[in-house]
Amino acid sequence: MKSLCRSVIAAASLIFIGCDGSSSPNAALLALATLSPPGIEFKAVVGDSDASCGGDITGHGDSHSSSVTIQHVAGVMPIGLKDLRFYVSEFELVDQNDNIITLDVPNTGAWQYGGVALLDFENGKGSCSGTTETNNFVQASVENKTYKTLRFTLGVPESLNHIDYSVAPSPLNVSGLAWSWTMGYRFFVGEFLSNDAATLGNAAVLHIGSAGCSESAGVYTCTNSNRTVIELTPTEGFNPFTQKVQFDLKKAVTGWDISTGSKSCHSMGAMDSATCSLVYPNFGLDYSTGNAGSTTQTVFGIISK
């Protein structure tokens, strides 16, 4: 792979060496960018810090000018990431004329299948418990222009949610993202540990997936879908070639404080209500119904590349 990258870079450099021996680095970089497949790029953070494995995540406090109070993620500082993976699907763009463009998310053999993409921000290092491979990109047919709105679903569509993961194509074959196949998939998995000396090892575990699922004669029904439609309409618009989607784990667990003990949400109905109901609104969901709530999601936003 490294030799292939060197060859591509060399080729791009040769293309932009003029007859007089001059070169154009900017043009070469532009050529390299166009060699990459189009799509939607994602980034994961914890407040002001990158969400990464293998060490302490610090710098995620919010300073307030009117006081000395600093709010840390779930009440602790620092933390160690354990897992951060989620499925996204049903991508749409809305152009300046309010036309809705449904994006083609092709099967790629590893990270995308059936219009579903897996975003994976953990690499198995340090306290992370997943796989070594990572992915922050959804390959899709997009144009280099500014759109009004980006819309997608956090979750696996119902048509694929109850297949047997053990024989499913990638990325629907990841055991760490599946409950029993009657239940379906974990749409979102976010986990971290407190590395604060005073609360060492206290954990936050957030798993979102459809709940109240049952099967009869091969047909599955779930009382709570728990799929949230993320709609991002920044004032300056969204250009997938110059901007990307940011997910903030700190905002995802706003309402939890693990300084006094571990917190978990497994989307399991009444038994999880006390903890899930505190964080579901961060995703724009009402925990009691599994549908869109009255609160707008805060976990996703648009930033520059």
What is the helix (H) or strand (E) element at residue 14, kind and residue range?
Answer: helix 2-15
**pLDDT of 4:** 37
| Nearest alpha carbon to residue 252 among 190, 299, 186, 204 | 299
SS3 265: strand
Least confident of 50-64, 95-109, 228-242, 273-287: 50-64
pLDDT mean across residues, the chain: 88
| Nearest alpha carbon to residue 147 among 228, 39, 88, 232 | 232
**pLDDT of 98:** 97
Least confident of 51-55, 66-70, 153-157: 66-70
Tokens of 194: 């407190």
CA-to-CA distance for 272 and 236, rounded, in angstroms? 39
2 or 302, higher pLDDT:
302
| Strand blocks (E) in 69-113 | 70-71, 79-94, 100-102, 112-113
SS3 6: helix
**pLDDT of 183:** 85
Give 50-69 as a DSSP string. Answer: E--SSS-B----EE-TTSS-
CB half-sphere exposure, 136, CA atoms < 13 A: 17
**pLDDT of 16:** 40
Dump pLDDT digits (tens) for 196-247: 999 999 999 999 999 999 999 989 999 999 999 999 999 999 999 999 999 9
Angle between helices 25-35 and 2-15 (to 10 degrees): 130
| Nearest alpha carbon to residue 140 among 245, 242, 38 | 38
Q: What band does 180 get if pLDDT is binned at 50, 70 and 90? A: confident
Least confident of 2-6, 261-265, 273-277, 292-296: 2-6
Dump pLDDT digits (tens) for 76-135: 999 999 999 999 999 999 999 999 999 999 999 999 999 999 999 999 999 998 899 999
* Average pLDDT, integer, range 257-262: 96
**pLDDT of 61:** 62
**Torsion angles phi and psi, residue 194, rounded to 5:** -80, 130
Give 210-252 as a DSSP string. Answer: -EEEEEETTEEEEEE---EEEEE--TT-B-TTTEEEEEEHHHH
| Nearest alpha carbon to residue 190 among 260, 282, 301 | 282
SS3 content of the chain, % helix, strand, coil (to 5): 20, 35, 45
**pLDDT of 23:** 46
Are 212 and 269 contacting, i.e. CB atoms less than 8 angstroms apart?
Answer: yes
